[in-house]
Amino acid sequence: MNETPITVRTEDIPKAYAVCFNDQCPHRQQCVRFAAGQTISQSKTHGPCVYPTTLKDGNCPMFRQLRLIRSAWGFKTLFNDVQKKDYSRLRSEVIFHFRSESDFWRYNRGYYKLTPEQQQAILDIFRRHGYDTSNRHFQHYEEHIDFS
């Protein structure tokens, strides 16, 4: 199976994202931090980075798998067929999952994007309340490199 290589573009890298330049790291070919470090412009002179001393015994705690994910945002469609008696409790549990109503709204409006793991956690809340999640979906989806 031939996979298309993932290309990291400078403009995709989040501000203040720690990049890596360690050519000796055995994980460099699979690490998003190393891939991001390879795209840094020659005109850039400083910024956050992972020091080579981070690599100990072949392990790097800063390693992040280079992968594409399908992120999501927007909750309106999730609640479309929720019964009135369940609506407030479900909404409260989803808000509690994010720890604050302001974060709930940031994910709802797309300022923040839900990872596949976060999407599953939200769907699990609906499932626990007896709702079928096989056709339940978020309002928007986007495929991009996972910088989490």
- Token pair, residue 93, equals 């549990």
17: alpha, beta or left, given left = phi > 0 and alpha = psi -120 to 50?
A: beta
With H, G, I as helix, E, B as strand and everything else as coil, classify residue 85.
helix
**pLDDT confidence of residue 3:** 66
- pLDDT tens track for 65-115: 999 999 999 999 999 999 999 999 999 999 999 999 999 999 999 999 999
Q: Biggest alpha carbon distance in the chain?
A: 59
CB 73 within 8 A of CB 114: yes
- pLDDT tens track for 83-94: 999 999 999 999
pTM of the model: 0.77
CB 64 within 8 A of CB 32: yes
- Bridge-partner residues for 142, per DSSP? 71
CA 116 to CA 96: how far, in whole Å? 18
